[in-house]
C-alpha cells in the first residue's frame, strides 16, 4: 500500500521519467523545475528583443526548434529536439514533423488569404502546437511565446498577456485558460483569443 501524500504546490517530487535529460541534478521538485524553466523563458525573451524576424522565418520548423532550444537549453539536454517517446497528449512521435509542417503551411495560407484576423492566427498557431506536442516538456510556454513572436515581430502588435500571470500554477486564471483551450479543441477560439489579450 503506497503513501497518499499531499504536497504543497510546487513541492511535488519529480519522478524518474521527468528527470530524464535534466541538466541540473539539484532540481527535485516541480516548483524548482518551473523556476529554472522560467529563467530560460526570460533569457529567450531577452534574445528576441534583439531580433527582427520575418513571418517566413517565424513560421519555419527551424525557428520552432530554435526557440524551444533557447528557452530550455540550460535545463534539458534535449531542448529543441522533437520528443522521441509517446505522451498522453500529442500526435504520434513519428508524425511530429509532418503535423508541424501542415500547421506552418496552414498559417501561411491563413495569412495569404486573410482567412482569420492576425490575433486569431497567432492563437490558432499556439493551440495547434500544443495539440502536436512536439517536445517532451515546455510545449505550453513555447507555444505562447511563439504566438507572441508572431504578433510582435510578424504583425507589429503588442505581446499577448495570457492572463497576466504564470499559467504553470493552479488557480482561477489557469482554470480559465484551460477552459478556453477546451473550447478551442472544439474549434471555438473566441475565449482563447480574449484570454490572450486579457
The answer to whether residue 10 scores a pLDDT higher than 50 is: no
As a whole-number percent, the residues of the chain with pLDDT over 70 amount to: 88
Domain interval for residue 106:
21-196
Per-residue pLDDT reduced to its tens digit, 41-96? 999 999 999 999 999 999 999 999 999 999 999 999 999 999 998 988 999 999 99
DSSP state of 160: P
Mean pLDDT score, 181-185? 95
**Count of domains in the chain?**
1
Tell me whether residue 51 is in a domain: yes
Tell me whether residue 79 is in a domain: yes
Q: What is the predicted pLDDT for the residue at 15?
A: 59
The answer to whether residue 109 scores a pLDDT higher than 80 is: yes
Tell me whether residue 13 is in a domain: no
Per-residue pLDDT reduced to its tens digit, 116-126? 999 999 999 99
Q: What is the predicted pLDDT for the residue at 14?
A: 62
Q: Of 21, 162, 1, 127, nearest to 80 (Cα)?
A: 21
Tell me whether residue 37 is in a domain: yes
CATH number for the domain spanning 51: value is 1.10.3290.10
CB 196 within 8 A of CB 119: yes
Amino acid at each position: 500500500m503506497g503513501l497518499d501524500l499531499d504536497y504543497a504546490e510546487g513541492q511535488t517530487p519529480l519522478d524518474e521519467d521527468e528527470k530524464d535529460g535534466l541538466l541540473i541534478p539539484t532540481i527535485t521538485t516541480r516548483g524548482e523545475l518551473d523556476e529554472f524553466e522560467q529563467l530560460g523563458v526570460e533569457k529567450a525573451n531577452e534574445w528576441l528583443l534583439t531580433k527582427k524576424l520575418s513571418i517566413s522565418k517565424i513560421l519555419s520548423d527551424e525557428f520552432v526548434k530554435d526557440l524551444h532550444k533557447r528557452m530550455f537549453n540550460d535545463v534539458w539536454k534535449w531542448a529543441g529536439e522533437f520528443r522521441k517517446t509517446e505522451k498522453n497528449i500529442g500526435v504520434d512521435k513519428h508524425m511530429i514533423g509532418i503535423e508541424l509542417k501542415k500547421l506552418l503551411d496552414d498559417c501561411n495560407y491563413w495569412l495569404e488569404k486573410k482567412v482569420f484576423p492576425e490575433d486569431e492566427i497567432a492563437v490558432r498557431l499556439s493551440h495547434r502546437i500544443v495539440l502536436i506536442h512536439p517536445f517532451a516538456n515546455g510545449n505550453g510556454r513555447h507555444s505562447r511565446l511563439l504566438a507572441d513572436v508572431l504578433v510582435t515581430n510578424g504583425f507589429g502588435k503588442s505581446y499577448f498577456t495570457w492572463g497576466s500571470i504564470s499559467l504553470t500554477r493552479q488557480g482561477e486564471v489557469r482554470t480559465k485558460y484551460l477552459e478556453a483551450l477546451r473550447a478551442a479543441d472544439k474549434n471555438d477560439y473566441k475565449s482563447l483569443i480574449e484570454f490572450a489579450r486579457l
